[in-house]
Amino acid sequence: MLAEQKILPPETVSRIARAQKKAEEKFTRPGEPPLSDIMPLEKALIEQCGQEATLIHTGRSRQDIFATLNQGRLRRSVLDLAQSMNEFRRTLLSIALQHVETLIPAYTNGVQAMPVTLGFYLWAFLEAFEREFDALREGYTRVNRCALGSAVLANSA
Tens of pLDDT, residue by residue over 73-92, are 899 999 999 999 999 999 99
Domain-ending residue, one of 11, 42, 59: 59
| Same-domain status, 66 and 98 | yes
In 3D space, the residue among 40, 32, 37 whose CA is nearest the CA of residue 70 turns out to be 37
Range of the domain at 86: 60-157
Domain-ending residue, one of 59, 79, 107: 59
**Percent of the chain residues past pLDDT 70, beyond the cut:** 91
The chain-wide mean pLDDT, for the chain, equals: 87
pLDDT in tens, 19-74: 989 888 888 888 887 777 777 888 888 988 889 888 887 776 667 777 778 888 89
pTM of the model: 0.64
| Same-domain status, 65 and 82 | yes
Q: How many domains does the chain have?
A: 2
What's the CA dihedral at 94, 96, 97, 98 to 10 degrees? Answer: 90
| Same-domain status, 126 and 74 | yes
What's the CA dihedral at 25, 30, 32, 34 to 10 degrees? Answer: 80
